């Protein structure tokens, strides 16, 4: 799973917590880099939710993110300021 975390002005959001959830339980997590990008490797085929949290922003989510075999899955999330 790869993606970019941005704000509503399309600026990257660094150091955001990106969690991959399976049935609402944590499966894997990482942080976004200074350019807002993140990567989570080794994700099994299934449907997941993505939860993104960063200081000063409302949480962002993606529901029903489908992971397919041998395919890169994009999960870009835009966060709104609190």
pLDDT of residue 43 exceeding 90, the answer is yes
Place of tokens 């992971």: 67
Confidence bin at 70 (pLDDT 50/70/90): confident
Q: What is the pTM of this model?
A: 0.94
Q: Give pLDDT, residue 33.
A: 98
Residue 55, judged by CB atoms within 10 A of its CB (0-12, 13-18, 19+), counts as exposed
**Tokens read off for 47:** 């449907």
pLDDT of residue 31 exceeding 90, the answer is yes
Inter-CA distances, 54 with 23, 25, 32, Å: 22, 19, 10
């Amino acid at each position: 799973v790869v993606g970019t975390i941005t704000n509503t002005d399309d600026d990257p959001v660094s150091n955001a917590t990106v969690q991959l959830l399976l049935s609402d339980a944590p499966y894997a997590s990482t942080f976004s880099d200074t350019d807002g990008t993140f990567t989570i490797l080794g994700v099994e085929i299934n449907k997941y939710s993505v939860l993104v949290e960063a200081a000063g922003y409302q949480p962002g989510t993606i529901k029903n993110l489908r992971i397919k075999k041998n395919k890169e899955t994009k999960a870009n999330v835009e966060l709104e300021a609190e």
